[in-house]
Amino acid sequence: MRSFLIFSLLFLFCLAVSPETPKSRKKKGPQLLPIQRTSHSRSETKFLLYSNTIEEGCLIEFNQFDTLEKCRFNASLPLVMIVHGWSVDGRLEGWIWKLAEALKSQLTQTNVIITDWLALAHAHYPIAVQNTRDVGQEIARFLEWLEESVQFSRGNAHLIGYSLGAHVSGFAGSYIRGARKIGRITGLDPAGPLFEGMSPTDRLSPDDADFVDAIHTFTQQQMGLSVGIKQPVAHFDFYPNGGTFQPGCHIMHVYNHIVQYGITGLAQTVKCAHERSVHLFIDSLWHNNQHIKGYWCKDMQTFDKGRCLSCRAKRCNILGYHIRKERVPGSRRLFLKTRAQMPFKVHHYQFKFRFINEFKERQIDPTFTISLTGSKDNVENLSITLVEGITGNKTYTFLVPLEIDIGELMMIKLKWEGIAIWENIWNTVQTIIPWGKGDRRLGLIMETIRVKAGETQQKMTFCSQSLDDLHLYPGQEKMFVRCEVSSQRLR
C-alpha cells in the first residue's frame, strides 16, 4: 500500500497531466547561459507584497515604480521572498499563507513577498522544471530593478523556495548581474527528479547566495527516484529524521486524512513528508526561543548511536530562520530527530553503557528499560534495545531523543529486561555455571553510565547507588545518581 502511494506520488510528480494544459508556449530545453529577454519589460511572475491586512497581497508590477509606493514596499527593511513549487491544481497552496503569516508576525520589520509563478508551474513536471530557469531570471531582474529604483540591497534579500521553488531561487541567485550575491537562499525539500546529480549550475548550490541552507524531508528512494533531492545543495543541509521520511506521515494516517479531507486526504498524506520541511521552518519562527539543533554527522546510522552530538568547531547549527550564517567549506550534512507535530523539537542525549560481562561467549538479552529524573520533569519506562547485541566487554553508545524538556538530568533508573523470554535461559545459566564465590550469581556489571546532552552540551556521569553489588540482574531496577559533573572523559 505504501509503495503504491509513493509510486503514485512519483507518477504524479513526473508525468502529471494537468486538467487544462496551460500555455502552449514552446519552451527551450535546459540551458547553461542566461536567456536574453531584454525586450520584455513585463514579467510573467507576480510579486505579491504580503501584509496581514490584505487578503491576497498587493501586486508589485515589475518596472512600475508607482506599484512599489502603492504597496508600501519599504526599501530600508529586509525582504523575504517565498517561492512555491510545482503546481498540480494551479492554485497557491495553503502553506504559503501560513509561512507568510509566520514571517510577518515574527519579523515585523520585514517585507514579505509571495512570488506567484503558477502560470509556469502548472504544467507537466518536466516542463515546469524547464521553466524554473526563466522564473529564476525574472526574480533576478526584479531584484536588480529594486536596486536601481529604490536602492534596495540584494544582500538584504532572503529567498525561501519549496521543492522546485528551491531551484528557482538558485537560478535567481546565479542569474543576478553584478559581483554581489543575494543574501540568503533557503531550500525547503528541494525537488529531486531531474536535479539529483546535476552540476551545481543546474540546481540550487552553495554559490547561489552569500549563505544557503536547506532542509531535506522526503528523500525516500523508490525506483531510483526521490521526491526531494538527497545530495547536499547548501552550506548547511539538514536531514531531519535522516531526511527520508517523517514521523506522523506514515500511511496509517491516510485513514484519518481521508476522514478529515475526503478523497483529497490521499494527497495530504503523500505531501506530508515533502511539506514537512515548510512546517519545520514555520516552527522555527513561531518557537524562536526553542531552537531546534542539527548536528554534523556522516549518516543517520551513526547519528542513531549518539556519536554526533558535538557543537565544537561549528559542528552543529540551528534549523530554520535563526540559523547561524557561518561559512564553512563545502556543504555540511546535519542530522536531528523531531516530533511528529509542531513544536517539532526533541532533546537529544547520548548514553554510554560500559559493561563488564561475566557471561563469556553467551548472547544475552540486550533490552533495557530506563526512567529519567530531571530538574523539570521525568520520563518513565523508555525501552532501549542495544541493536548490536551484548557480547564481551564493550562500551555501547546510543541516542535517546526525548520529546519533553526534563531540564538537567539528575537520576537514571535502569532495569535489565527480558525476564519472560530469558528466565529459562537464566536458570540454565545458573545450572551450567556454578555460583561464584560469595554465593553470588554471574551477571552484567555496570558501574557508571555516561550521558551527553546535545542541546546543552553538558556531559554527566552517573554511578550506581548500590556499591556493594554492581551486578545487574534481570527484572531488578538499579538507581544511578550523578557522581561527576562536566566529566571531560566523554567524547
Ligand X SMILES: *[C@@H]1O[C@H](CO)[C@@H](O)[C@H](O)[C@H]1NC(C)=O
Catalytic residue status for 274: yes
What track of x and - describes contact with ligand X for positions 384 through 413 (by CB under 6 A)? --------xx--------------------
Answer yes or no: 174 catalytic.
Answer: no
Comparison of 74 and 487: residue with beta carbon closer to ligand X: 74
Residue of 84, 82, 101 whose CA lies nearest to 92:
84
Best CA proximity match to 429, nearest among 473, 396, 392: 473
Query: Of 23-31, 275-283, 286-294, 353-361, which segment contacts ligand X by CB under 6 A?
Result: 353-361
Instruction: Single out the catalytic residue among 189, 202, 210, 365.
Output: 189
**Residue 359, φ and ψ in degrees, nearest 5:** -85, 90
| 304 marked among binding-site residues | no
Question: Does residue 356 touch ligand X according to CB under 6 A?
Answer: yes
Q: Is there a contact between 472 and 416 (Cβ–Cβ < 8 Å)? A: yes
Cβ pair 48, 57 in contact under 8 A: yes
Q: Is 299 a catalytic residue?
A: no
Tell me the CA distances in angstroms from 36 to 245, 401, 431, one per residue in order. Answer: 40, 52, 86
R_g of the chain, CA atoms, integer Å: 27
d(CA 164, CA 152): 26
CA dihedral sign of residues 224, 225, 226, 231: positive
Q: How far is the CB of 207 from ligand X (least distance, A)?
A: 31
Residue 430 Cβ, how far from ligand X at the closest point, in Å? Answer: 17
Give the total of residues touching ligand X (CB under 6 A): 12
Our CB check for ligand X shows the closer of 419 and 463 to be 419
Q: Binding to ligand X by residue 357, rule CB under 6 A?
A: yes
For the bound state, the minimum distance from the C-beta of residue 381 to ligand X, rounded and expressed in Å, comes to 4
Is the four-CA dihedral 10, 12, 17, 22 of positive or negative sign? negative
- Provide the Cα torsion 336, 339, 343, 345; round to 10°: -30
Measured from the CB of residue 73, what is the shortest distance to ligand X in angstroms? 9
Binding test (CB under 6 A) with ligand X, winner from 91, 360, 489, 491? 360
Rounded-to-integer distance, Cα 408 and Cα 431, Å = 44
Q: Burial letters for 318-333: b for 16+ Cβ neighbours within 10 Å, e otherwise?
A: bbbbebeeeeeeebbb
Site for ligand X (CB under 6 A): which residue of 3, 8, 31, 76?
Answer: 76
Span interacting with ligand X, options 37-45, 198-206, 351-359, 401-409, rule CB under 6 A: 351-359
Give the integer Cα–Cα distance in Å for 237 and 234: 6
- Reduce the DSSP state of residue 212 to 3 states and report it: strand
- Cα 182 to Cα 69, 139, 177, distances in angstroms: 23, 11, 10
- CA–CA distance, 479 with 150 (Å, rounded to integer): 67
Element holding 134 (H helix, E strand): helix 125-150
Interacting positions 402-461 with ligand X (CB under 6 A): none
Q: Given 87, 163, 226, 464, which residue is catalytic?
A: 163
Residue whose CB is less far from ligand X, 200 or 392: 392
Nearest to ligand X of 24, 381 (CB atom): 381
Look up residue 207 and give its DSSP letter. G
Q: Output the smallest distance, CB 419 to ligand X, in A.
A: 11
Cβ(83)–Cβ(160) under 8 Å? Answer: yes
Contact status: 207 vs ligand X (CB under 6 A): no
We find the least distance from the C-beta atom of residue 70 to ligand X, in angstroms, to be 12
Residue among 64 and 458 whose Cβ is closer to ligand X:
64
Among 89, 326, 380, 408, binds ligand X (CB under 6 A): 380
Contact positions with ligand X (CB under 6 A) in 86-145:
109
Nearer to ligand X, 273 or 390 (CB): 390
- 84, 122, 158, 274: which one is catalytic? 274
User: Shortest Cβ distance from residue 125 to ligand X (Å)?
Assistant: 41
User: Which of 299, 380 has the CB closer to ligand X?
Assistant: 380
Binding-site annotation, residues for Ca(2+):
203, 208
Binding-site annotation, residues:
203, 208
Q: Which residues are catalytic?
A: 163, 189, 274
Q: Which residues bind ligand X (CB under 6 A)?
A: 74, 76-77, 109, 356-358, 360, 380-381, 392-393
